[in-house]
A and B are shown apart, each in its own frame.
Chain A
């Protein structure tokens, strides 16, 4: 099976650690390495991959036009995402995780703290990041091919050149043959694949996914999750995904970050121990279900304290 260099490095970094609140469950990884789950980030064995996305003390608030008051959506969040890492953010709806993602995208201004991609400060949208929103939002008058190259064209590339550059991803996401269809001729799942291809074609340093499959039906969603899993293992991108589905987060990610109810801060940062390449059926395993209920308990506990529901 294919595995990127970044993933391979990650495998070797499988580590054992224990934190005060850790629920230690030794798992026999597919490659024979023993990995453990921990609520804390490991301190004694450092991850050697360079930090791709670094967020320090991020505070995002916005002015409510009706009440005239400032609402704090994200409260002092600090997070490092390393190269090739897939990080998911889960939390109650309205907790500020989408705002957080929009801030990384540069679409929402932050009031305090800093966001860096490859050590470069983020102040506005840029070529180093690409976002996949929940709604496919394809330009309806453009055929699939030119929708995929839209991001590249916006960065000043000629359509022909952009097509060339995008063709790799068209093949990878199995959209070849659909380039001359209009978006309305495609199913919701296919539209979302075009959306994904549009983001990947830009070859961003960090890929941001904002509940990418939430608008799809349950079956399509499962299929797309498996497809994204395979895709990410192939291209080894650094990904930050916001989702409501805990199973989706666990299946796809290397780390799951749990956000509190608004204003959002990090409740827990859970390392997902399953080795790559993963298959969709790991969802049936005991460990997977254990992790799911653990994450759920944390979210639920927070909701009860904050009265968030």
Chain B
């Protein structure tokens, strides 16, 4: 019975998915064609806008001569360390803030204030403290990525079903057992959401920090290309950042779906 009712639904969903994909990609293609035409017909100064084909050539060029790889590795290192540190500190801290009410009362306002401060505005300070090397960038990534994690995990703890805790207590569960068997599984979807938001913020942080100061990384590459009027190379750099951002988001989304199979709206059997 169940399968009979589910199948047509998924078919409809599939068709809808294909239509949406077609619509979405046709707008992008139209945009690229228009852009190329604008360039080819010389309607705007080519120096300002470059063109899709020139961006592709620039992309190939920076891949071939190894500039992209060199800068990519630096940015990846900065992002990786910062992101990891954000998880290592943010995960337990967010959980504890949600779990212990006193902790939330004490640290809540401080965190809200920190969160409202634009981290990148502190970049000059970080440069004074940590220099122009990768440490200052790691700190920026850490500070950009940690708050979505803290906030999401804190919210996760408040969504714990009290009935489940009641049952666990009735079966003699201690605080640690309640935490492990109920709080942690509850927090998982929130952790994934937090990780996705953190990835976006962290990526933004690393690029802006590199644009701000330094001598390596994709942000620096973009900034340098811009100041030397290599617009095609600017776009080539931006494209790389966009691809990284999208693939991070998609893979985290996949991971989330994997852990979300028990939910009624995503589970398909």
Binding site for B on A (CB under 8 A): 105, 107, 124-127, 130-131, 133, 135, 137, 139-143, 150-151, 153-155, 182, 184-185, 202
* 6 shortest interchain CB distances as A-B pairs: A184-B264, A151-B171, A137-B163, A141-B262, A131-B170, A125-B172
Binding site for A on B (CB under 8 A): 2, 161, 163-164, 166-173, 177, 181-182, 185, 188, 261-264, 267, 269
* Inter-chain contact A184/B171, CB cutoff 8 Å: no
B269 contacts across to A, CB distance below 8 A: 185
When A141-B185, A182-B262, A184-B262 are in contact, do A130 and B164 touch as well, CB less than 8 Å? no
- A107 contact from B161, B170, B177, Cβ within 8 A: B170
- A130 contact from B166, B171, B177, Cβ within 8 A: B171
Q: List 26 A-B contacts (CB under 8 A).
A: A125-B169, A125-B170, A125-B172, A130-B170, A131-B167, A131-B170, A133-B163, A133-B166, A133-B167, A137-B161, A137-B166, A139-B182, A139-B185, A140-B262, A140-B263, A141-B262, A154-B171, A154-B172, A154-B181, A182-B261, A182-B262, A182-B267, A184-B262, A184-B264, A185-B267, A202-B171
Main secondary structure on chain A at its contact with chain B?
Answer: loop
- Minimum distance in angstroms from B41 CB to a CB of chain A: 58
A127 contacts across to B, CB distance below 8 A: 172
- B172 contact from A140, A142, A155, A182, Cβ within 8 A: A155
* Inter-chain contact A107/B171, CB cutoff 8 Å: no
User: What separation, in Å, do the CA atoms of A130 and B173 have in the docked complex?
Assistant: 12
- Minimum distance in angstroms from A156 CB to a CB of chain B: 9
User: What separation, in Å, do the CA atoms of A72 and B109 have in the docked complex?
Assistant: 40
B173 contacts across to A, CB distance below 8 A: 154
When A140-B263, A182-B262, A182-B267 are in contact, do A155 and B171 touch as well, CB less than 8 Å? yes
B182 contacts across to A, CB distance below 8 A: 139
A105 contacts across to B, CB distance below 8 A: 170
User: What separation, in Å, do the CA atoms of A184 and B164 have in the docked complex?
Assistant: 15
B170 contacts across to A, CB distance below 8 A: 105, 107, 125, 130-131, 133
User: What separation, in Å, do the CA atoms of A107 and B164 have in the docked complex?
Assistant: 14
User: What separation, in Å, do the CA atoms of A141 and B267 have in the docked complex?
Assistant: 11
User: What separation, in Å, do the CA atoms of A185 and B167 have in the docked complex?
Assistant: 21
A131 contacts across to B, CB distance below 8 A: 167, 170
- Minimum distance in angstroms from B2 CB to a CB of chain A: 8
* Inter-chain contact B263/A137, CB cutoff 8 Å: no
B166 contacts across to A, CB distance below 8 A: 107, 133, 137
With A141-B185, A142-B262 already in contact, 12 other A-B pairs whose C-beta atoms are closer than 8 Å: A107-B166, A107-B169, A125-B170, A127-B172, A131-B170, A133-B163, A137-B164, A137-B166, A141-B188, A154-B173, A155-B172, A184-B263
- Minimum distance in angstroms from B192 CB to a CB of chain A: 13
B188 contacts across to A, CB distance below 8 A: 141
User: What separation, in Å, do the CA atoms of A124 and B269 have in the docked complex?
Assistant: 41
* Inter-chain contact B264/A125, CB cutoff 8 Å: no
B169 contacts across to A, CB distance below 8 A: 107, 125
- Minimum distance in angstroms from B161 CB to a CB of chain A: 7
* Inter-chain contact B181/A139, CB cutoff 8 Å: yes
User: What separation, in Å, do the CA atoms of A226 and B168 have in the docked complex?
Assistant: 28
Identity of the chain A residue whose Cβ is nearest the Cβ of B165 in the assembled complex: A137
* Inter-chain contact A154/B168, CB cutoff 8 Å: yes
Identity of the chain A residue whose Cβ is nearest the Cβ of B259 in the assembled complex: A141
User: What separation, in Å, do the CA atoms of A73 and B151 have in the docked complex?
Assistant: 40
- A150 contact from B163, B181, B262, B263, Cβ within 8 A: B181
User: What separation, in Å, do the CA atoms of A124 and B174 have in the docked complex?
Assistant: 11
- Minimum distance in angstroms from A289 CB to a CB of chain B: 36
A142 contacts across to B, CB distance below 8 A: 262
A184 contacts across to B, CB distance below 8 A: 262-264, 267
* Inter-chain contact A137/B264, CB cutoff 8 Å: no
User: What separation, in Å, do the CA atoms of A133 and B166 have in the docked complex?
Assistant: 10
A154 contacts across to B, CB distance below 8 A: 168, 171-173, 177, 181
When A141-B262, A184-B264 are in contact, do A126 and B163 touch as well, CB less than 8 Å? no
Identity of the chain B residue whose Cβ is nearest the Cβ of A152 in the assembled complex: B171
- Minimum distance in angstroms from B122 CB to a CB of chain A: 40
Identity of the chain B residue whose Cβ is nearest the Cβ of A182 in the assembled complex: B262
User: What separation, in Å, do the CA atoms of A140 and B160 have in the docked complex?
Assistant: 12
